[in-house]
Amino acid sequence: MDKINAIIPAAGQGKRMGGSLNKQFMILQGMSVIEHTLRVFTAIEVISGIVIVCAAGEEDYYQTEILPKYGLIKPIEVVAGGRERQDSVYCGLSAACENCKHVIIHDGARPLVTADVIFRAVREVKGYGALTTGVPVKDTIKRTDSQGVVIDTLQRQGLWHIQTPQAFRLDLLMRAHEEARAVGFYGTDDAALVERLGFPVRVIPGSYENIKITTPEDLTVAETILRGRGKH
């Protein structure tokens, strides 16, 4: 059976939140952000195991305060991440189970992901080998020079706001990471590393509600979305 591991990078310090607290531990509707994320992934049977990549020094906190709430539903491993998100994902990939063929990468700070989006990514990656979720760009996008002067206005057709989850064959993503590490290349997401190999990455529909918690305003928006879903 094809085992699929979820890699959840959760080492962000939340500098744009205006404090030193890891944004994964911010409280959203009475529960930490990372717990909202874990609750979705632990409930999905096709996810055989989870690797949480945390900031160095937070491992014990996860083991004593977070993971006991989820019992032994499925294996959950906690590993320390690296300097950048890309380094942290690599640490997570290195901890994936040996007989895992595919992995799904999802930011711990995206607590509003739904099971439907995850199921779609898991299903489609088996045919494509590499994919990312995203939503079509709604706003007008302009490109400027270093002085803020508009150079041109991009056509929205074909432009996507990229999200996680992203899903890949494990061997393909490991190769992409290792080749990037060898030359010191850093991409803005895992898909960019695979694109760098020349391998086609498919974009499939995500959700406009699948926001990333980056600023205090995002918490307010997330609370509004959860209330709209009937979770008070």
Please check whether residue 68 lies inside any domain of the structure.
yes
Q: What is the pLDDT of residues 165-223, one digit of tens each?
A: 999 999 999 999 999 999 999 999 999 999 999 999 999 999 999 999 988 899 999 99
Q: Residue 216, preceding bond cis, omega within 30 degrees? A: no
Please tell me the total count of domains within the chain. 1
Q: Which amino acid, residue 161? A: H
Phi then psi for residue 104, to 5 deg, are -120, 125
Which pTM does this prediction carry?
0.92
Let me know: does 52 contact 8? Beta carbons within 8 Å: yes
Please check whether residue 188 lies inside any domain of the structure.
yes
The H-assigned helical ranges of the chain are 33-42, 59-61, 85-94, 115-128, 170-183, 190-196, 216-228
Please check whether residue 232 lies inside any domain of the structure.
no
Residue 76 C-alpha from the chain's centroid: 16
Residue 20: predicted pLDDT: 59
Residue 231: predicted pLDDT: 58
Residue 60: predicted pLDDT: 94
| Residues of the chain predicted below pLDDT 70 | 1, 13-21, 72, 231-232
CATH number at residue 7: 3.90.550.10
Please check whether residue 151 lies inside any domain of the structure.
yes
Residue 22: predicted pLDDT: 80
Residue 232: predicted pLDDT: 52
Phi then psi for residue 124, to 5 deg, are -75, -30
| Structural domain harbouring 149 | 3-227
Please check whether residue 154 lies inside any domain of the structure.
yes
Please check whether residue 97 lies inside any domain of the structure.
yes
Q: Which amino acid, residue 125? A: V
CA distances from 118 to 54, 76, 164 (A): 21, 18, 9
Please check whether residue 99 lies inside any domain of the structure.
yes
- Quote the CA–CA distance of 204 and 221 in Å, as a whole number: 24
Q: Residue 9, preceding bond cis, omega within 30 degrees? A: no
Residue 97: predicted pLDDT: 81
Please check whether residue 112 lies inside any domain of the structure.
yes
Residue 99: predicted pLDDT: 85
